[in-house]
Amino acid sequence: MLAPNFWDHPDKAQSIVTKLKGLKATVKPFEQMARRIDDAQAMIELAGEEDGQSMLAEVEQAIKEAREELDKLEFKTQMSDPADISNAFVTIQAGAGGTESCDWASMLYRMYTRWAEDHGYDLELVDADEAEQAGFRSVTFAVRGEYAYGYLRGEAGVHRLVRISPFDAQSRRHTSFVAVDIMPELDDSIEIDVKDSDIEMDTFMSGGPGGQHQNKTASGVRLRHLPTGIAVECRNERSQHKNRKTAMAMLKARLYRIEQEKRDAELAKLYNEKGEIAFGSQIRSYVLHPYQLVKDHRTDVEVGNAGGVLDGNVDPFIEAFLKTRKPPAAN
């Protein structure tokens, strides 16, 4: 990168910069951990030379912080796929349940956006198909920041909600289903070859239910990959060109994920097309009535504070899922 002609070929240069970013993200935590351990060791030695009792609290705090940092570092070893460091596209699709399901989709959208904000990630709405009464039929947004995909990838699957319906005049209990799909936003360091002849593009009016967001131009873009039948949409921008660029990034991300499935039979059960979004296919259940409980059916992790989970506290489920993934064996 110090070469005078480094930026003569911008695409190649950007690819190298991206690779360097990934390498730094891998090495930096180890360097920070080493410094923290050295600092703790120095404090222990200093306490031995002086009155140890006066420094005991500082030494204990330093050891506690080092242990916490080591736990985080060990946890990150679960994210070894080249795409794990990438940004993520999150798509939430309403399933069985009508208005109930669309409202449930909006609740999950709020949950994941709050989780992302709490962890310092940037958010961008990519596509939203709003339902007539409430919520979304589908919504796609980008979560941008290091390891966004690595953390969120285990959230892909069907999510089930049990509650007293706010749309039922008789206050009966309803069950709703929503599918969540997670895809990496790939950079130039991961190549996915998509032929133009394999893509069919449609455009459509991308306006919503009215108001300032109404857009009466055909700027919405739908891309279909003919060999696989995969279809993606983007309607957030008023520029058809920008929407096509984003849709192409999403298409490549889905194709990359299919290749991941082929390489990893265990994760294939999670990332394959989810089939019917209804009973028997859920990865997690959120029960708000007659009791409060959120349970992940893959890891058996349970959280009694369902309101806290829906406010963005998804970490217990994310961490439990990632701990089931084995890091690659050392060479």
Q: Please report which confidence band the pLDDT of residue 187 belongs to, taking 50, 70 and 90 as the band edges.
A: low
pLDDT at 271: 42
Q: Name the pairing type of β-strands 136-144 and 87-94.
A: antiparallel
Distance in angstroms (rounded) separating the CA atoms of residues 219 and 237: 7
62 pLDDT exceeds 50?
Answer: yes
270 pLDDT exceeds 70?
Answer: no
Most confident of 20-29, 77-86, 177-186, 204-213: 177-186
Whose CA is closest to 284, among 312, 325, 318, 322? Answer: 318
Q: Please report which confidence band the pLDDT of residue 99 belongs to, taking 50, 70 and 90 as the band edges.
A: confident
**Confidence (pTM):** 0.67
Contact between 246 and 252 under an 8 Å Cβ cutoff? The reply is no
Q: Name the pairing type of β-strands 302-303 and 293-296.
A: antiparallel
pLDDT at 214: 43
Q: Which residues contact 198 (CB under 8 A, 6 or more apart)?
A: 225, 226, 227
Q: Please report which confidence band the pLDDT of residue 264 belongs to, taking 50, 70 and 90 as the band edges.
A: low
Question: Strands of 199-204's sheet, edge to edge?
Answer: 199-204, 220-225, 230-234
295 pLDDT exceeds 60?
Answer: yes
Contact between 92 and 108 under an 8 Å Cβ cutoff? The reply is yes
- Residue 228: enclosing H or E segment and its boundaries? none
| Residue that has been written with the tokens 């989970």 in this structure | 309
Task: Look up residue 60 and give its two tokens.
Answer: 């204990």
**Alpha helices by DSSP H, 140-239:** 148-152
279 pLDDT exceeds 70?
Answer: no
Residues of the chain with CATH 3.30.70.1660: 87-322
Task: Look up residue 5 and give its two tokens.
Answer: 């002609």
The CATH class of 87-322 is: alpha beta
Distance in angstroms (rounded) separating the CA atoms of residues 255 and 164: 39
Please name every residue paired with 210 in a beta bridge, in sequence order, or none if there are none. Answer: none
CB atoms within 10 A of CB 317: 22
